[in-house]
Chain A
Amino acid sequence: MDQNQRFRSLFVWGGGALLLMALPLVFSQNTHLSVLSRMGIAVVFALSYNMLFGQGGMLSFGHAAFSGLGAYLTIHALVLMNKGTLAFPVTLLPLVGGLAGMLFSVPFGYVATKRSGTPFAMITLGIGELVAAAVLMLPGFFGGEAGITGNRVTGVTWLGIDYGSQLQMYYLVAGWAFASTAAMYAFTRTPLGLLSNAVRDNSERAEFVAYNPKQVRFLVMVIAGFFAGVSGALATLTYEIVNAESVGLQSSGNVLLMAFIGGIGQFFGPILGAILLTLLQSVLSLFTPAWLLYIGLLFLAMMLFAPGGLSSIIVAHGPAWRAGLMLRLVPSYLAAVAAGAVLLAGTVSLVEMCYFLSDTGRPASLSLAGIVVDPRRPGPWITGGAVLLAGFVLVHFAAGMVSAQWQRLRKDLNARGPLRRDARLAQAVPPVAEVQGTTT
């Protein structure tokens, strides 16, 4: 690691820590702090998921089983602390959740990691369904549909911290999220972390140099289970309730969306995805009941047009940025944004009109961005459809502009001699297309 890189990593991690500390100064309201806490929890969960999917090539549909079971054991510990039968610092409870996640990932991981690719995905789906069914089957331990509640204010204070306020809770989440992120990043640099990449890319070759792919997958799954448990415990402390939803398939699917939309190819991708999706969930859901549909559309659009996720789009701009040629892309990008806005307007108006008609307790009129429309008449539908169609045509042209501009840019970059690739890019995980090598 040369001087330059050392300075950069210090800048990134130090800056991140400072940002986490300073955020409550700007967002001091309790609702904002609770959104920030949710982001922190989602970041840990998404990074732990990506340890499996992005770095290990294991597509899992049951990751919430580990965070959820971690959450259940944490709430049981908290209840015991409330009763006074157990003395344990609340600050360290995420460790309990993590160990619980790890404990459960040992048997489940042992079974699942015997396979890779699609069979692995199916086994994890089965595990997810099994745990979700078991939670409802054993109401004695899991509290049935209603779940279990606890109180994070145990009366034991340390330096005046009792976690009674939302702010203190935010700092607990931020601290654990920062530590977990650092630990998971460090993991990618360990021999095991690198081996998991090797097993993902070509498990046969890894086997030829005397590493057991099953063992590598198993160890990665157990470590991912630990961090999933930590995120479950943080969620438990934030909400003070754990119910069947926390192990559900919805939650497993959600973390998959976060990791994928953010980009599974870079370490920071899932962080982006977790922040973006949490933000969408909390902001979009205030405006429209159709927010889940929009998230689904976003996922499919990413899948079709940018399968590397947001982070790969960012990384792709690295060479142009270093060469100082970013300005040349701006006009075509502006055109793309304008075309995308038209497409979005068409989609949103049609979706909202659909919802308006099916909503039985609907208001008297529907207002779209200040324009009052009446979805019971054909006029708005024709207009909406026309806008949508125009959006498709415009996006098609704008995409042509962007790709033409990129082609010219690439030519110029190549003319400047071989690309100066930085070390991190060279190690970067390949996009989804190459992840496939392991599945066939």
Chain B
Amino acid sequence: MEFFIISMLNGISFGLLLFMLSSGLTLIFGMMGVLNFAHASFYMLGAYFAYSMGKVTGFWGALLLAPIALGAIGAVVERYGLRAVHKFGHVAELLFTFGLAHLIDEAVHLVWGRSALEYRVPPELDTTLFTLFSTSYPTYRGFMMLVAIVMLVSIFLILTRTRIGLIIQAALTHPEMVQSLGHDVPRLFMLVFAGGAALAGLAGVIGGNAFVTDPGMAASVGSIVFVVVVIGGLGSLMGAFIASLALGLMQTFSVALDYSMLNVLQHFGVVLSSASPLFGVAKLTIAQMAPSLPFVLLIVMLVIRPKGLMGTREN
């Protein structure tokens, strides 16, 4: 029971972090048709910026400033990069963001070095929120959930209750119509891209110290976020939310499960000898298979239902 509740909480907080990343990615995709490979790199930059800014302004200043800086970078990338390759089509845009991700990775190596940084949780949050049975639950995890939920609610309110949000929603499906009604759609694209980058940066600020801040963090979370967005349905915020929580929980629980095919076979009375050629595969536990599970899900989803859980279009 203790294991279940703690894993549940960890899974939800990881899932909410994934949602902070995937929400921007899926909005950008829905609007511009660009699957942004550099999105996870913005997440990484968020953590690194927060580390460097935090030395001057402290954690709380960085929490505000790093996402703003990332938003500015995102705006520049959209205005002077993506818009220039837009005329060559979606594959060219995909390639551009791929190159950008590569560039950001290398720039991070160059500026901050190759080893992990000591980006710490601020002392005022480095306490215990509550103790359940014998496991103490850190305040910072609760803080992460709080930030994610505040963000989720504000995105929802902005998109459904404000004028700009309604125009964004309209531009998601009918960009030409919105344009002919006199709205500056390219500027709207830039705004959404900058907003998505800022959200990724925010996720980096609060995720970098909860997990680890090193040059590999973009690669480790990037593919998972892609999986989330594809499974949720490209362009669907609600789908991304559900898929984020599901994947967060799946990742957290599967890491702790030590069952393998051997156990299943034993249950049916079959004992596989260690000399059997299938032994190597059968002895893999779910925990060992955990890193590959999201990708199996991704491939299965793309083959049987390419529009995802809540998506409306195929590509």
Contacts and interface: CB of A to CB of B under 8 A. Distances in A.
Interface of A: 59, 111, 114-115, 117-119, 121-123, 125-127, 129-130, 133-134, 136-138, 140-141, 249, 253, 256-257, 260, 290, 292-293, 296-297, 299-300, 303-304, 307, 351, 354-355, 358-360, 431-433, 435-436, 439-440
Interface residues of B, number: 46
B201 interface: no
B56 interface: no
A383 to B, nearest CB: 20
Contacts of A127: 295, 299
Given A115-B306, A133-B292, A304 B315 contact: no
A204 to B, nearest CB: 14
Interface in B238-286: 280-281, 284
Interface string B297-315: 0110011001000000011
Contacts of B291: 133, 136-137
A134 B281 CA distance: 10
A118 B90 contact: yes
Interface of B is mostly: helix
B303 A433 contact: no
Nearest to A307: B88
Q: Which residue, of A122, A292, A307, A360, has the highest number of chain B Cβ atoms within 10 A? A: A122
B94 A115 contact: no
A436 B303 contact: no
Contact of B302 (A115, A293, A433): A115
A133 B295 contact: yes
23 contacts: A111-B303, A118-B94, A119-B302, A119-B306, A121-B91, A122-B226, A125-B223, A126-B298, A127-B295, A138-B280, A253-B102, A257-B102, A290-B110, A292-B109, A296-B103, A300-B96, A303-B85, A303-B95, A304-B85, A307-B85, A432-B89, A432-B91, A436-B90
B90 A303 contact: no
B164 interface: no
Contacts of B219: 249
Given A119-B314, A136-B291, A137-B291, 6 more contacts: A111-B299, A115-B315, A129-B223, A129-B295, A130-B299, A440-B315
Interface in B94-129: 94-96, 98-100, 102-103, 106-107, 109-113
Given A122-B226, A133-B291, A300 B315 contact: no
B163 interface: no
Given A130-B296, A137-B292, A300 B100 contact: yes
B76 interface: no
A436 B93 CA distance: 11
Contacts of B298: 122-123, 125-126
Contacts of B107: 293
A121 B37 CA distance: 12
B92 A307 contact: yes
Contacts of B64: none
Contacts of A115: 302-303, 306, 315
B315 A117 contact: yes
Interface of B: 35, 81, 84-85, 87-92, 94-96, 98-100, 102-103, 106-107, 109-113, 219, 223, 226-227, 230, 280-281, 284, 288-289, 291-292, 295-296, 298-299, 302-303, 306, 314-315
A80 B50 CA distance: 53
A125 to B, nearest CB: 7
A300 B306 contact: no
B213 to A, nearest CB: 15
Contacts of B280: 138, 140-141
Contacts of A299: 99, 102
Contacts of B35: 118, 121-122
Given A59-B91, A137-B288, A296 B295 contact: no
A114 B302 CA distance: 9
Contacts of A136: 291
A157 to B, nearest CB: 34
Q: Which residue, of B96, B110, B112, B303, has the highest number of chain A Cβ atoms within 10 A? A: B110
Given A130-B292, A303-B99, A123 B94 contact: no
Nearest to A117: B315
A307 B94 CA distance: 13
B102 A296 contact: yes
A439 B314 CA distance: 11
Nearest to B283: A140
Given A119-B306, A130-B299, A360-B113, A290 B106 contact: yes
A168 B231 CA distance: 50
B253 to A, nearest CB: 18
Nearest to B92: A432
Given A355-B110, A358-B112, A253 B98 contact: yes
Nearest to B91: A59
